[in-house]
Structure 1
Amino acid sequence: MTGYLNLILRLTIWFLLTADISWANSLMGVAVALLLPRGATNVGRLRDWLRTLGEVVVAIPQAYKEAFEIMLWPHRYEVVTVNRAKPRRSPSLIFLDIFLITFTPKTIVQRYRQQGWYEVHRIQREETP
């Protein structure tokens, strides 16, 4: 099952990069997704995949909300935080976590540390002490 989710993830990235869902481009995307090498690493549990995909659905309206906030009110302050990654994450799930953090307009992942930490740059309206 996680193999299908990995294929869907690769196709989604393909469609986001090409911005074309024609039949020819879809066939090329499937070919590329199948030809890309697969690592022999932990593929992740189905429950983790479903939870992360649910977080993607929630992140879309949050991204719109944050975009409007940035347009309406100035965000003059920046902060860099270090957030702990969820335990036992496969490389694909780590990629999705980084994608989710970076998808919202107020945050971007600057670096992922192999020890399981994300450095996240965030803008905010008010200065924190």
Structure 2
Amino acid sequence: MVGHLNLILRLTIWFLLTADFSWPNIIIGVIIAFFLPGRQKAPESLKDWLRVLGEIMVAIPQAYKEAFEIILRPHKHEEITMERVKPGRTSGLIFLDIFLITFTPKTIVLKYHEDGWYEVHLVRRRKKA
């Protein structure tokens, strides 16, 4: 089942990158998804994958909301924070975490630290004192 989720993830990322649902692009995406090299097998629970897929579905409207917020009320305050990686994350789930953080317009992962931290750049509205 997790293998199917890897294929779905690859296709989802392909469609997010290309924004093209034409038949030739779908065929190319499927071919690329099948021929991308696999990764080492690691125990991943279906529960973790389903939770991350749910987070992706929430992130898409969140990204649009943040984009409109930045357009309508410019955000000029920047900061760098450290976010802890959730315990027991495989490399595939860490990639999805980084993808989700970077997908929204106000945040981007600058660096993944091997000791279990993400370095995240945030754009915010300056809070009134």
How high is the TM-score relative to the length of structure 1? 0.89
Match of 2:35 in 1: 35
Instruction: Decide whether the 8 Å contact of 1:15 with 1:21 is kept in 2.
Output: yes
Match of 2:93 in 1: 93
Secondary structure of 1:49 counterpart: helix
Structure 1 residue 16: Cα displacement: 2.5
**Per the alignment, do residues 108 and 127 of structure 1 end up closer, same or farther by CA in structure 2, a change over 3 Å counting?**
same
Secondary structure of 1:21 counterpart: coil
Structure 1 residue 76: Cα displacement: 1.4
Structure 1 residue 77: Cα displacement: 0.9
| Superposition pairs of residues 1-129 of structure 1, within 5 angstroms | 1-126=1-126
The structure 1 segments of at least 4 consecutive aligned residues displaced by more than 3 Å after TM superposition are: none
- Structure 1 segments unaligned to the other structure (5+ residues): none
**Per the alignment, do residues 116 and 128 of structure 1 end up closer, same or farther by CA in structure 2, a change over 3 Å counting?**
farther
> 1:106 & 1:81 partners in 2: Cα distance?
13
> 2:22 & 2:75 partners in 1: Cα distance?
39
Q: Which amino acid aligns with 1:73?
A: R
Q: Which amino acid aligns with 2:8?
A: I
The 10-residue stretch of structure 1 (95-104 or 35-44) with the greater mean CA deviation from structure 2: 35-44
Q: Which amino acid aligns with 2:85?
A: A
Instruction: Decide whether the 8 Å contact of 1:43 with 1:92 is kept in 2.
Output: no
Secondary structure of 2:99 counterpart: helix
Q: Which amino acid aligns with 1:121?
A: H
> 2:128 & 2:45 partners in 1: Cα distance?
37
How high is the TM-score relative to the length of structure 2? 0.89
Identity %: 63
Deviations 1:63-110 (A, max 9, x none): 122112111222111100010011111222111111111111111110
